[in-house]
Amino acid sequence: MASSEIEVVSSDSKTPKISDAPLVVDVFSAVSYGDFEKLRSFVEQEGASVSVPDSNGYYALQWASLYNFPDIAQYIIKHGGDVNATDNMQQTALHWAAVRGATTVADLLLENGARLEAADLHGYRAVHVAAQYGQTAFLNHIIAKYNADFDAPDYEGWSPLHWAAFKGFADTIRLLLFRDAYQGRQDKNGCTPLHWAATRGNAEACTVLVHSGTKKELVVKDKAGFTPVQLAHDKGHRHVAFFLSKQQRALSNRWRDKICNGRMKDIGYAPILFCIIILEMFLFINSVVAGSSFPKITAVVGLWAWTALSLAVGSLIMFYRCSSKDPGYIKRPGDLGAHDDTEDPLLNIDLNSSSVWTGNWSQLCPTCKIIRTVRSKHCPTCKRCVEQFDHHCPWISNCVGKRNKRDFFIFVCMATLTSFISGAVTVQRIWTSSIGLSEGETWIHHMLVQHPGAIAFLVLDTFIFIPAVTLTSTQASMIARNITTNEVANSTRYWYLRGPDGKFRNPYNHGCWKNCSNFFFRGYADDDDIAWPPLERIAST
């Protein structure tokens, strides 16, 4: 089972309680309540010491660190407080600062000689404590600024990633994976972070770990011989067990993995769709327009047939454009020609840039190692992050995103019109040819015998028309609301799609007219142009 996590505060009478009137009787209670004047009075007038612990072994500097009182902490250090003093659990003030994510106090402690890698009786360092309490911003700060060892194990072999997975802090997991924390580390029980996430039924934690890892962790067994899938099943976490078993099946099927994740996956179904379109055009020209078994084509029908063929050619052009065009890939450090000595991207984050960083750790991509924009998403098929990610379409072998969504919509619209008009022309040709059937000959028999090519075209055209109409109407609806397929499918996961009442609200919806005009004239919507501010940002401190 899990190691005991840090316990910094007991039910001591000095611990402030909101319901109780402040009772400042000594240095420790003054520090706990943040009463600077009382503290100065005790020290300067009554000669109280700030360098000795209370009856429980806790130091005044630890209380100041826990409640993030940097001015009081500075005063204590100035008057003899030891930044490395430890209580009965060998915990320092920095351990206590990590509990509440007191970044300002941590800076003060470390600048005054606090030992960053100090470990308590369980082997917990500040990085472990921060991971235990989900203090992602604090953890990032001490890693980025002070080079804290984010992969260090405690005495049970647990790294900060183990703790984040055990507690289900998905944002902390993203940060650690972003910084290349080792997923395969096994503790003394042989458990990886994924084992503990599965044991606790932390679905989002499992999802982040699996999608960001090599998936080899799915088949790792602990010392008892259990995989993460088996642990999730045994603990009754059926939704987690289903997800993990699905991922494990994909990994274990070597033949399918080789085919689907190799050339076939890279190429996609675009060549198949291209061949279908060419076959449709061939059948339409040879079996419908120029079919010898049909009567001579009229001028009106010929005009509509020419229109259908023109639309088909246009569809092929738009098919090529949306298949080959960059859907909006976000540049990675290597794409920008960055060097190894570049500044840490998470050290000085511009919190005022709403289009890049909103203080939400879900914007970190552990795979691409970038801070992505709010509406972007990592595509596991393309292995890239895409701005305004809509969906990955295997039929065009490309993602649909900010840069090619207009081309994709035009393509499906033209495909729908082509399918409808060519189908109508085919039905008209078949109908006119069936007039004056010989006695005893059925209509179905006549069609199959006299016009097999036209019937084959009509069947194939129907299978294209139905999904094309569905896709066109769905995309049109989302364009009118300025929302993506991904956002509709995962609306409950995205904080920016929730209003103050917790219900769905799209901050990018400016009304049908403006949404459509922006899309068709510009090609995409501007992420900075929001109709109203989303729910309070999860600000990084």
Q: Say whether 413 is catalytic.
A: no
Query: Residue holding tokens 């351990």?
Result: 95
What are residue 13's phi and psi, to 5 degrees? -65, -15
Q: Tokens 């500040």 appear where?
A: 126
Q: Which of 423, 458, 451, 436 minimizes the C-alpha distance to 290?
A: 451
Angle, in degrees to the nearest 10, between helices 193-200 and 160-167: 10
What CA–CA distance (Å, rounded) separates 396 from 107?
51
Distance of CA 518 to the CA centre of its chain: 26
Q: Which residues contact 241 (CB under 8 A, 6 or more apart)?
A: 198, 229, 232, 233
CA distances from 198 to 165, 210, 217, 241 (A): 9, 11, 12, 8
Pairing of strands 398-400, 391-393: antiparallel
Sign of CA dihedral 122, 128, 132, 135: positive
* Cα gap 399→452, rounded to integer Å: 37
**Could you identify the residue written with the tokens 């902490």?**
73
Inter-residue contact 197 to 209 (CB < 8 Å): yes
Closest C-alpha among 464, 446, 469 to residue 284: 464
Tokens of 312: 């088909």
Which DSSP helix (H) or strand (E) runs through 196?
helix 193-200
Contact predicate 305/297, CB 8 Å: yes
The dihedral over CA atoms of 306, 414, 398, 250, expressed in degrees to the nearest 10, equals -100
Query: Do residues 243 and 202 lie in contact, with contact meaning Cβ atoms separated by under 8 Å?
Result: no
Catalytic residue selected from 385, 393, 399, 413:
393
The one-letter amino acid code at 409 reads F
Dig out the tokens for 444 from the structure: 């179905």
Cα–Cα distance, 411 to 537 (Å, whole number): 37
Residues marked as catalytic: 393
